[in-house]
Amino acid sequence: MYHGEASSIEVDRSDRIDEMTRVRAKYDLYPPKDKFNIDESGLWWKLTPNQTLATEAGSGSKALKDRITLAFTCNADGSKKLDTWVIGC
């Protein structure tokens, strides 16, 4: 049972299934070389490792969490890989 805003939404799965079927039919019209996928990954470039080989404890400090996002793109058959996008400041 849903409460709040979720309870006011009419759940009709048949519309969603019909739409997904339509999207998949369009997707199948293209060859694998024309189907691209993009995925992103975070890179905390200032963050130091949380484990070391040191035998003595170092001084405590706040972890630097400056982050950039890297986006990788390639097509379905792997014949074309686009340049990596760097998103951040």
- 58-61: Cβ within 8 A, 24+ apart: none
> Dihedral of the CA atoms 29, 32, 34, 36 (nearest 10)?
110
38 pLDDT band (50/70/90 cuts)? Answer: very high
Tokens of 71: 């986006």
User: For 23, what's the count of Cα atoms within 13 Å in the CB-facing half-sphere?
Assistant: 6
Helix (H, G, I), strand (E, B) or coil at 32: helix
> Domain segments of the chain: what residues?
33-48+64-89
Looking at residue 45, its pLDDT comes to 79
Mean pLDDT to the nearest integer, 72-76: 96
